[in-house]
Amino acid sequence: MPFRRGNDARRRWRLSAKLLIAASVATVLGFSAVCAGVMFDMRRGEEQLARRTLENLASGIEADISRNVELYDLSLRAVASNLEMPEIRGVSKELRQLILFDHAATAKHFGAIQVFDVKGNLTIDAASLDPQPENRSDEEYFAIQRDHPDTGLYVSRPMLHRGAYAIVLSRRITGEDGRFLGVVVGSIRFSYFHDLFGRLNLTPGDTITVLRNDRTIIMRTPFDLDVIGKNLAEQLDWRSENPKMGGAFSGKGPVDDTPRLYVRRSSSGGPLYVVVGKPLEAVFSLWRTEAIRIGAIMAFLVLFVLSATLVLAREIVRRADAEDKLEELATTDALTGLKNRRKFDAEIDREWRRAGRYGQPVALLMIDADHFKAYNDTYGHQAGDQVLVGIAICISDAVRRAGDCPARFGGEEFAVLLPNMTALEAFNLAETIRNKVQQWCEGELITTVSIGVASMRPLAGQQWSDLIEAADKALYAAKANGRNQSVLATVPKIALVA
């Protein structure tokens, strides 16, 4: 069955094209997913590396600040403790200075320690035996210690103190009976933070912010005096969890609109904590460059694979279409457009076998143009061809079922294969065809057709050639009886189907 194999081959070609496209698309999607996963992992790796780097930087800064604050606080504690001794009041100024400030921490960034009495008057100054009169009762660092006995070490807001911007550290002086005796005060100048931050190798856009526990900015680099002393608790868009202690936060910061990765470090119980920020642009710059490179390579490969796939698929489809056209040319009669004898033989063989398996009838019409040779000799071959085309049109118009096979059997003879059709149904269809031809030929083109009809259920030992022989004998009978008629096969040896 060559034609059935041809149909199967064409279906396989088209299926191959679809499978090729599907496989290419699946491959592209798979590699794209893997590539996207790798790039996202790289991005997370860059973020984690930057976070660890910022954590280390923040830890170093926080450790330095905490150590200096603690050293200075120890000096304040020592002064406050020594002032509680009754003996201190009877010694000379020189000896008192030696006792109070002998172990006091000294550095170029530390201000001289001062002592204020209960009214806020300056009584002792580490920088002078005879200090100038001062009263600091209205200062926050004095009022806090006076009004809140449990304050401990207090770090003030950034302020101008003794001619330089600084933060003031204070501790309460308490008597044995718990009475408030005054405040001991010291300061750390901004020059300490400038010097500390200046030793760091920061990239443009990096920020370091030192904050008090109430989220007041103590110092920030890049330095901006308008930002110093600002309380972030007053900003509704910068919540207290941005970032959490020991955590990280990505997004817009409280000072400018540059998106950064922020990392917070804080010593347990310390008055200050550190937040270090790095622009996300800088964090992901290397990753972005690599992602663009990989993305460009992947885009090129995707375009190449899809283009090659489309070209191959188009060639496969084109080959299948070419085979369709070749088969159509090989199985179609060029003049009438009906199936040719080769296709008819393949179809009748296939239908005969199927009818034998299912016990169904197969009908056949053998149609022949009456007096065609005389007509052809009289009017010429072109007129004869026109008659054959007209008969083919009448046959095609009458045969409507998809499984029926009208064909040009040879010369002026036609055949119509009718699967699963009884003899009576086939005879009625034959009459329809004959009447259509007769109506069409009325006028100048005068011709008719004779039709032989046969229908059989295949039995063991029978061949489809028996059906053709029966229909052909019925056709000869129609011609012998005067033409322009249909005759049902009545050969005794043929198993007819009524």
Q: Could you list the active site residues?
A: 412
How far is residue 123's CA from residue 115's CA, in Å, rounded to a whole number?
A: 6
Half-sphere exposure in the Cβ direction for 290 (13 Å, CA): 15
Element of type H or E holding 262: strand 259-266
Per DSSP, which regions of 139-258 are E strands?
Answer: 154-155, 159-161, 164-174, 180-189, 207-212, 217-221, 248-252
The three-class DSSP label of residue 361 is coil
- DSSP 3-state percent helix, strand, coil across the chain (nearest 5): 50, 20, 30
Burial 130-167 (b: 16+ CB within 10 A, else e): eeeeeebeebebbeebbeeeeeebbbbbbeebeeebbb
Rounded to whole angstroms, the Cα distance separating 404 from 230 reads 93
Rounded Cα–Cα distance for residues 30 and 42 (Å): 18
Please identify which residue in the block is written with the tokens 């496209």.
Answer: 21
Contact 275, 61 (CB under 8 A): no
